[in-house]
Structure 1
Amino acid sequence: MTSSYDPQSSLPTVLVVDDELRSREALSRVLNQEFSVLLADSAAQARELLEQHAVAVILCDQRMPGIQGIEFLKEARERWPDVVRIVLSGYTDSEDIIAGINHAGIYQYLLKPWLPEHLLTTVRNAVESRSLQNHMQRLDVELRAGTPVLRRRSQQTLDKVRDAFDFSRIVRAPGGPLDALCELAARVARFDLSVLLLGESGTGKELLARAIHYASPRASNAFVMENCAALPDSLLESELFGHKRGAFTGAHQDHVGLIQRAHGGTLFLDEIGDTSPAFQVKLLRVLQEGELRPVGATTPVRVDVRVIAATHRDLEEEVRNGRFRSDLYYRLASVPLALPPLRERSGDLVPIANKLLADASQELDLPDLRFAADALGSLLGYPWPGNIRELRNEIYRAAALSDGAEIGARAFSWRVLQGQARSALAGAAPASSPGGTLQEQLDAIEASILRESLLRHRWNKTHTARELGLSRVGLRQKLRRFGLEESQ
């Protein structure tokens, strides 16, 4: 019998136990590539090697003279529990497999003939599993010894998170409509009341929900969120309430639902208005009774959560139309807070845009990014139907595509430029500006048409002149006449 074991080696050690010489040699040739290998032709010899060496993995044949592989691995599990156990067999006896899983705690059951790469992958994973297990055990010891330090660090981390999600961190202009909203939300946060956040998608409802949580007495516990519109009823129920193993096809193990994970903390249910009446009944029971029953469970589980819900729908209208239960609505809407869309708080747009540009500069590793004057003008002239989410996407896109540190209007998408041009054209119409002579009003309209065409073609004068039926010289004269420069 030969062995590749080297006592000075730092490689993990694998013990191969097989009564057939050729099988041991074949296994050794493959495993020698990455591991130190010990060879044993019987369970007795394997015991001796385990007592003398630090073994990471046992690879044992099932059918051997005397003690069988499963019996030996069961003994190894009791005496050397940290060693990962793998069975190698040419038979598919279900009783052997079940015994291996239940009694010997085997990691894997490999069938002969094995493939070298599959064998190596299995042993690699087994070694990694043992390493992670040992690491977790060391961490557990360190955690017990360092509880005071960890408690202090935990409090410091919580303080940092609270500061990051403080109401003052919600970017807005002083004196804007969000000031009163944030003041009201801060007062509500101290009390265990359900909050319903209303507003269009992308207005910052999740950010406000987090601010409420971290300003509340529940801040040290979990903030858990779920988008109710993203899942069908059956999956949403399983995700929120959890399920027991075998409750339905594919439920291979117990699953703790998000509501239980939020125990003691806050559960944020986004797009609650998109749920079905059947699901609303089940959620209402949880809120009323303070308990839930996981799918497939026979006994209820007590839960203590604060619920913050959000929707872009008009829930009062949904209640009137019978699409949302009135009792659930009143349970959720103890304190309704409505976030205005970005187009109704234009004063907030510039500080929000500057904050998003700073974030993009850091995340994309593009230092010193800044807006040109015409860029801010374009942003202010667009209505932003997608609100802050759309603004963020537009700014990150412009930052990625911009050639220099200064981002001009041309870096924005045609959708934004077109929206700005329409706004400028509407603002220059005679109906909006009744003052001035006929010529002055015609000049204003002509200037707006020129600017719209320039924005559409991203200040390409050749394309603009062709569209308007002008020569390049004629276009330049008109631009000088109306003071239309690219920097505007």
Structure 2
Amino acid sequence: MTDDDLLHPDYLPLVLLVDDEVRSQDAMRRTLDEDFRILCASSADEARALLERHEAAVILCDQRMPGLTGVAFLREVRERWPETVRIVISGYTDSEDIIAGINEAGIYQYILKPWVPDHLLQTVRQAVEARTLQRGVHRLELDLRAGTTALRARRGDRLAQARAAFGFDRIERAPGSPLDGVCEMAARVARYDLSVLVLGESGTGKELLGRAIHYGSPRAEGPFVLENCAAIPDTLLESELFGHKRGAFTGAFEDHIGLFQRAHGGTVFLDEIGETSPAFQVKLLRVLQEGELRPVGSPRPIPVDVRVIAATHRNLEDEVRAGRFREDLYYRLTGITLNMPPLRERVGDIPPLARRLLREVGAELGRPGVVWADDAMGVLMGYPWPGNIRELRNEIARAIALSDGERIEARAFSTRVLHGQAGRHAAAQGQDGVATLPQTGTLQERLDAIEAVVLREVMLRQRWNKTRAAAELGLSRVGLRAKLQRFGLEDPK
């Protein structure tokens, strides 16, 4: 595997979990398996065998195992597989042993039990990021030895690959989508070093937009780092973003470089900025105003050069009026404000999104050849998707898992989706109560969406009496039954 593979949009880094307790393995797998490929081992011997055959980006190892301790095994890993990032998990009673072996084993970080899923996921993400950056440094050193011409060529190739993988074209949408205007404005402001605030519901793709802005900017050759401000306790967020010095607080056993320093010359993406406390907002405002930060416990400030892209599902103007968000920080973040529309407001984007997600999820689940049946798309377009793209992806994964053939039919969808089209009807109504035609998609896709809404409305009004509904619609019972089956409409009772 090469570093260029890391830029491939379908690449998932490999994480090796080493723990003799199956329940602990399962808990970590559930936390990490959406973002990473996972392998599990119950002992150091099993882990060695796996490392001989697979290149792991990160290894998470329990401290207490039969035979070797976690630190002792990670010491061996450092010698034989030095590029694998090493993380040890332990209870409080093991902390002295781990501290004594941190330098010798080259442990990136240790996590105390009981661990928090969001913190574990974020730690592994940062470990992969650190590994990628380190490997990039090694390659740059080789390039420098080869000469500046080779350096520019290699750097240009990597940048072109990154822009192809994470550019605005990678934000899936149909022609004429409401996202076109958002992406056009984002592409314009990407060229200028302005702060950007991205608003939108959870799961609408705010992070994808932020990444596209970074790779469309003059900072594209610099790092892109992200942090979910809601996933880390407020007491740890300052240390995570700005760093800390050894001994600054209990548990600070060594200097920690914060994300702002790692992103020097690049972009920091702060997700869910609206969840931060007023105390933290003061410290963030100072960094943005002065262009320098002070790690926790450090007597001297450090200059940093970063662009900040913030995102939130909250209405920050309301939060400012309510006194929960600082007005001066709000205006500092809103150089440009972009709004990501929810999926229910861009129904025409569902077909291309669903086709792409079917390919991606099908490949991840070992079913690369699956396709949509004729009745599936109408059902997908008839559901309001309150969880947006994230919910759509999960529903597609469920449908693939429950389908045996190559065609994914509507009956494989959850009851929530099959019976949730009344929500789409409400979302599609204008002020006069009349359903409106979707503004994007092919003619057949638009007609299917409207037909599904009309059928659902009549069936609800007729209390799912097929005889009366068929008479109202001018259909035979057989014809009505065929249409209900095509769109996956069933009596919720």
Q: TM-score range by the shorter chain?
A: 0.5 to 0.7
* Counterpart position of 2:215: 214
SS of residue paired to 2:337 = strand
Matched position secondary structure for 2:419: helix
Task: State the match for 1:325 in structure 2.
Answer: 326
Kept in 1, the 8 Å contact 2:229–2:272? The answer is yes
Please report how far the alpha carbon of residue 294 of structure 1 lies from its aligned counterpart in structure 2 after TM superposition: 0.4
Q: Percent of aligned pairs with the same residue?
A: 59
Q: How far is the alpha carbon of 1:173 from its aligned partner?
A: 1.2
| Distance apart, 1:424 and its partner CA | 7.0
Are positions 1:399 and 2:389 aligned together?
A: no
Q: For residue 336 of structure 1, give the secondary structure of its aligned residue in structure 2.
A: strand
Alpha-carbon distance, 1:363 to partner: 1.8
Change (3 A) 1:445 1:233: closer
Cα distance change on mapping 1:176 and 1:133 into 2, 3 Å: closer
The residue correspondences of 1:58-77 to structure 2 (distance < 5 A) are none
What is the identity, as a one-letter code, of the residue corresponding to 1:417?
L
Q: Which residue of 1 aligns with 2:485?
A: 486
1:71-220 matches, within 5 Å, as 117=67, 122=72, 128-131=77-80, 145-146=145-146, 149=150, 152-220=153-221
Q: CA deviation at 1:117?
A: 4.8
Deviations 1:257-315 (A, max 9, x none): 00111110000000001111110000000000000000111101100000000010000
Structure 2: gaps spanning 5 or more residues: 1-65, 85-133, 436-453, 468-475, 488-493
Report the secondary structure of 1:373's partner residue.
coil
Q: CA deviation at 1:422?
A: 6.3
In structure 1, what is the Cα distance between the partners aligned to 2:76 and 2:69?
A: 12
Question: 1:386 Cα deviation (Å)?
Answer: 0.7
The answer to whether structure 1 residue 344 and structure 2 residue 338 are counterparts is: no
State the 1:327 CA deviation: 0.4
Aligned-partner Cα distance in 2 for 1:282–1:120: 37
- The yes-or-no answer on 1:265 pairing with 2:269 is no
1:233 aligns with 2:219: no
Check whether the contact 1:425–1:445 (CA below 8 A) recurs between aligned residues: no
1:365 is the counterpart of 2:366: yes
What corresponds to 1:282 in structure 2?
283
Q: CA deviation at 1:231?
A: 1.4
The DSSP-based 3-state class of the residue aligned with 2:338 is: strand
Distance across 1 between alignment mates of 2:397 and 2:263: 33
User: RMSD in angstroms over aligned alpha carbons?
Assistant: 3.6
Q: Could you report, residue by residue, the CA deviation over 1:200-235 in whole angstroms, capped at 9, with x for unpaired residues?
A: 111110000000000000000100100011112111
Confirm or deny: 8 A CA contact 1:264 1:304 kept in the other structure.
yes
Q: What is aligned with 1:389? A: 390
- The match for 2:459 is 448
Q: CA deviation at 1:365?
A: 2.2
For residues 356 and 366 of structure 2, the distance between their equivalents in structure 1, rounded to whole angstroms, comes to 15
CA displacement at 1:420 relative to structure 2:
2.2
Could you report, residue by residue, the CA deviation over 1:382-408 in whole angstroms, capped at 9, with x for unpaired residues?
001111111111112212221111111
Deviation at 1:155, TM superposition (A): 2.6
The equivalences for 1:242-253 within 5 A come to 242-253=243-254
Cα deviation code 1:425-461 (max 9, x no counterpart): 9999xx869xxxxxxxxx97897259997xxxxxxxx
Give the direction of change, closer, same or farther, for the CA distance of 1:278–1:481 in structure 2 (3 Å limit): closer
- 5 Å matches for 1:439-478? 448=459, 478=477
User: Hey, what does 1:256 align to over in structure 2?
Assistant: 257
Distance 1:451 1:300, change over 3 A: farther
What CA deviation, in whole Å up to 9, does each residue of 1:303-346 have, x standing for no partner?
00000000100001111111111100000001001111111111
Q: Would you say the 8 A contact 1:189–1:215 is kept in 2?
A: yes
Alpha-carbon separation, structure 1, partners of 2:346 and 2:216: 25
Query: 2 CA distance for matches of 1:486 and 1:300?
Result: 66
Q: Give the whole-Å Cα distance in 2 for the aligned partners of 1:197 and 1:275.
A: 16
Distance 1:251 1:311 in 2: 30
The 2-side partners of 1:253 and 1:190 are apart by 38
Deviation at 1:165, TM superposition (A): 1.3
After superposition, the Cα gap between the structure-2 partners of 1:143 and 1:126, relative to the gap in structure 1 and judged at 3 Å, is: farther
RCO higher in 1 or 2 (8 Å CA, sep ≥ 6)?
2
TM-score in terms of structure 1 length: 0.63
Structure 1 SS opposite 2:254: coil
Q: 1:355 to 1:128 in 2, by over 3 A?
A: closer
Deviations 1:404-429 (A, max 9, x none): 1111111111110110266579999x
Alignment pair present for 1:418 and 2:419: yes
Q: Which amino acid is 1:292 matched to?
A: L
- Aligned residues between the structures: 340
Aligned mates of 2:423, 2:316 — CA distance in 1? 33
**Shift of the alpha carbon at 1:132?**
5.4
- The separation in 1 between residues aligned to 2:193 and 2:69, in whole angstroms, is 56
- Contact 2:344/2:424 (CA < 8 Å) preserved in 1? no
CA distance in 2, matches of 1:117, 1:334: 57
Distance 2:313 2:83 in 1: 49
Rounded to whole Å, the distance in 1 between the matches of 2:395 and 2:353 is: 13
Counterparts of 2:307 and 2:427 in 1: how far apart (Å)?
48
Distance 2:197 2:408 in 1: 38
CA pair 480-166 structure 1, distance change in 2 beyond 3 A: closer
**Residues 344 and 382 (structure 1), Cα distance of their counterparts in 2 relative to 1, 3 Å cut:** same
Which residue in the other structure is 2:310 paired with? 309
Letter in 2 for 1:319: V
Report the residue type matching 2:485 in the other structure: E
Alignment partner, residue 12 of structure 1: none
Rate the CA distance shift 1:487–1:276 in 2: closer, same or farther, 3 A: same
Change (3 A) 1:147 1:249: farther
Q: Which residue of 2 aligns with 1:89?
A: none
| Contact map agreement 2:421 2:456 (CA 8 A) in 1 | no
SS at match of 1:268: strand
8 Å CA contact 1:421–1:451 kept in 2: the answer is: no
Instruction: Rate the CA distance shift 1:188–1:121 in 2: closer, same or farther, 3 A.
Output: closer
The alpha-carbon distance between structure 1 residues 409 and 295, as it changes in their structure 2 partners (threshold 3 A), is same
Shift of 1:483: 4.4
Call closer, same or farther: CA 1:232–1:134 in 2, change over 3 Å. closer
Verify the 8 A CA contact 2:226 2:271 in the aligned structure 1. yes
Change (3 A) 1:446 1:243: closer
Equivalent residue of 1:349, what SS?
helix
Q: Structure 1 residues 334, 245: closer, same or farther in 2, change over 3 A?
A: same
Task: Give the gaps of 5 or more residues in structure 1.
Answer: 1-115, 434-442, 454-463, 469-476
| Secondary structure in 2 matching 1:310 | strand
For residue 145 of structure 1, report the CA deviation from its aligned partner: 4.1
